[in-house]
Structure 1
């Protein structure tokens, strides 16, 4: 351990290298950081001033770890980009008297039943929703709502346990799937929600809030696959997206309704025939490297912005780039043993638009399609590209699709 002469920023959880490594790196470039995580630092050891090992889902354990760090260092702020540590992080920030959200606001974000109630009370366009605890109640709620409906655990993430149901006959099996997901959800909510299905393209709005004032920074257009499940397989961010003026007020309204006052938010919504309607508000940086896409497209580094806000500093929200960035997540064509994976185009001078190629599974490993597979077993890799426009980005993604080989053996 080395003692910093500057106040530390505590990072709670979210230190997985593939999807969150860039967050740690960008924040460590601006602030001395200490980690509270379930394991000691490994790949990030050279970036860390100090650390404490704790159960990041346990508020008391996180507070004890934070107080231990505060006994050794001056603390400037506390931040997380881990969905499941939002409430413990809020409680630690309050204990250390540094900027942060209230525990109640973070619970409202985590518990989608509470979110829906607050959206309704504040006239935020969202979806009709009923929390249920058994199949009989789910059947009643679905008939009242009208098919198709969506079942989802009240306080999970990453589309775990989320399924669309088109007819009453599909409800029993869908209930088993959603209830299984709910059995592993966080403690902030309980049960399963039966919700109105929102038809239309899915997007997210990436926002920052400081002192209760929210600014919408970018729009992420999503590609969702594997129906009736909601697996996100691609994202595209364009600087100056023409959707931003339309959807920003709805995102700001949703953030305010939940009582969020601080940090970066990933606000998911669908563009329905009646206008934008909120799916949920995630009070952290979006997953699937969306923060990297925002930086490549606009120059805005969401982890640095989140760190500045957590430390009570005014972040610089001036875009320094004007382009498009996209990620394509590679899935196998079927469940089985990965027998080949290759991309005939490589990053370099001949393909400067191909920013990153990352393989997550090796030949010989088993891969499992959703819904049985998870983020570890379903995804073969991902590709990140940059382009001058959204249209050019789609052309580049099509070129990659033609150059991509992924095959499995039964």
Structure 2
């Protein structure tokens, strides 16, 4: 099936193929940024609707079938030159890899491509390079999960290697719980990506978002998540804070750089999840591309660093460096909280069963810590997902405006 929006002739030579999309509230920002850099071709599982104004063409394909994606892309390539391919979801990495190979598009390193969809390969590369990591083991069957559990020991975490739902990780304290946890993780993972068994590490979880700079990959923002130990069997994030002002900031940046080097990742935005333990950061996973257009939008609103455009230019084989003076600033993130023990927004007073995503706090004073700095800390509450998105945008815009006013007053 082929659908076409008005063809764009401006921008760099060749079209950028984008694999997959999502709800307009989350993805429109990304499509706007990518289309501003050159014409786009969308390969998705449903026909485009709101995406049409940003596209030069589109085709329908099963994104988990790399051969079908290649066939549909070749149909577009017959009349339009292809400059690169960009995917957000890790489950689409294999299709993106095949397109790069068959259409001679800009490529990433072999190690990077192999490690992205299979977390145990990431573990092997990190261990070989001497980077502390979670020691995750991969399992495609219950027998493999059982063997991995004996190697890891209890308690452990059983989770999808590439989840298609939130809150899919399970805490397992003994063998009687393993079968149920493995079944739940398998049901929540994309076909062919398997399940991960890893130790249950103490400490908070953090994700470092990196951008290209003249000195190499640099941390743009750090998100922190804590987990409710009473929320069994699922591990539910109870709070997520993006805040680069942390005593572990320098260690996080060093770990992120070493992890990317271990995978051969030299350029393009990346995300490094890690657990901040008493002995320092331990890497959980490395994703050598963006996975969340919403967090990228919020990072740009607060820091001025446009990760989506950088990802698009990198996919086209171009170089895009971030402004070094903006690196290390604060960004924003949210996840739903369990329980009803936190304050609800006024609009949710009549719905006591609805839990907020987070609480809004803001720090006006800028504080430098090593190579990183904090200029704000944003959390918002809301009764549903769209409301939180709207409030995050408003809060981020207010913070950005305050920063500009302060800068003009200096």
TM-score interval (norm. to shorter)? 0.7 to 0.9
1:275 aligns with 2:280: yes
User: For the residues of structure 1 that align with 2:26 and 2:161, how far apart are their CA atoms?
Assistant: 24
Structure 1 residue 291, shift from structure 2 partner: 1.1
Alignment of 1:92 onto 2:99: yes
Unpaired runs of at least 5, structure 2: 367-373, 385-410
The offset of 1:26, in angstroms, is 1.8
| Residues 188 and 264 of structure 1: CA distance in aligned 2, closer, same or farther (over 3 Å) | farther
- Give the counterpart of 1:306 among 311, 315, 333: 311
2:164–2:190: 8 Å Cα contact kept in structure 1? Answer: no
2:30 & 2:50 partners in 1: Cα distance?
Answer: 13
Instruction: Tell me: CA distance 1:80–1:232, structure 2 relative to 1, closer, same or farther (3 Å).
Output: farther
Structure having the higher strand fraction is 1
**Residue 123 of structure 1: aligned partner:** 130
Residues 122-161 of structure 1 show CA distances to partners (whole Å, capped at 9, x for unaligned) of 2221123444566676556445433321112344465564
The structure-2 alpha-carbon separation of the partners of 1:130 and 1:33, relative to structure 1 and needing over 3 Å to count, comes to closer
TM-score (norm 1): 0.74
2:179 match: 175
The Cα RMSD (Å) is 3.7
User: How many matched pairs?
Assistant: 363
**Among residues 275, 278, 297, which one is paired with 1:292 in the alignment?**
297
- Shift of residue 249, structure 1, vs aligned partner: 2.5
State whether residues 158 and 185 of structure 2, in contact with CA within 8 Å, keep that contact through their aligned partners in structure 1.
Answer: no
Deviations 1:248-272 (A, max 9, x none): 2222222233344553211100111
SS where residue 123 of structure 1 aligns? coil
In the alignment, the residues of structure 1 paired with residue 211 and residue 70 of structure 2 have an alpha-carbon distance, to the nearest angstrom, of: 25
Measure, in 2, the Cα distance between the counterparts of 1:382 and 1:36.
35
State the alpha-carbon separation in 2 of the partners of residues 66 and 249 from structure 1. 39
**Aligned residue number for residue 349 of structure 1:** none
The answer to whether the aligner puts 1:198 opposite 2:201 as a matched pair is: yes
Q: Distance in 2 between matches of 1:130 and 1:50?
A: 41
SS at match of 1:73: coil
2:234 paired residue number: 229
8 Å CA contact 2:162–2:190 kept in 1: the answer is yes
8 Å CA contact retained: 1:291, 1:301 = yes
- The 3 A distance-change label for structure 1 pair 213 and 247 is same
Q: Distance in 1 between matches of 2:334 and 2:48?
A: 29
Say if 2:364 is the partner of 1:388: yes
TM-score, length-normalised on structure 2?
0.74
C-alpha distance after superposition, 1:300-335 (max 9, x if no partner): 11111101111122213005598644344445747x
2:271 to 253, 258, 266: 266
Which whole-Å CA distance do the structure 1 matches of 2:280 and 2:328 have between them?
27
* CA distance 1:217–1:380, shift in 2 (3 Å): closer
Q: Is 1:205–1:268's contact at 8 Å kept on the other side of the alignment?
A: yes
Q: 1:239 to 1:278 in 2, by over 3 A?
A: closer
1:344 Cα deviation from its structure 2 partner: 3.8
Q: Deviations over 1:51-99 (max 9, x none)?
A: 1111111111111122122112122221111221112112212222221
Look up the match of 2:370. none
Task: Return the match for 1:77 from 84, 89, 95.
Answer: 84
Contact 2:43 2:58 in 1 (8 A): yes
Give the one of 112, 132, 145 matched to 2:152: 145
Q: Structure 2 CA distance, aligned partners of 1:97 and 1:177?
A: 41
Unaligned runs of 5+ in 1: 335-340, 346-358, 368-377
- Shift in alpha-carbon separation, 1:238–1:46, aligned structure 2, 3 A: same
Aligned-partner Cα distance in 2 for 1:185–1:66: 26
User: Which whole-Å CA distance do the structure 2 matches of 1:212 and 1:117 have between them?
Assistant: 27
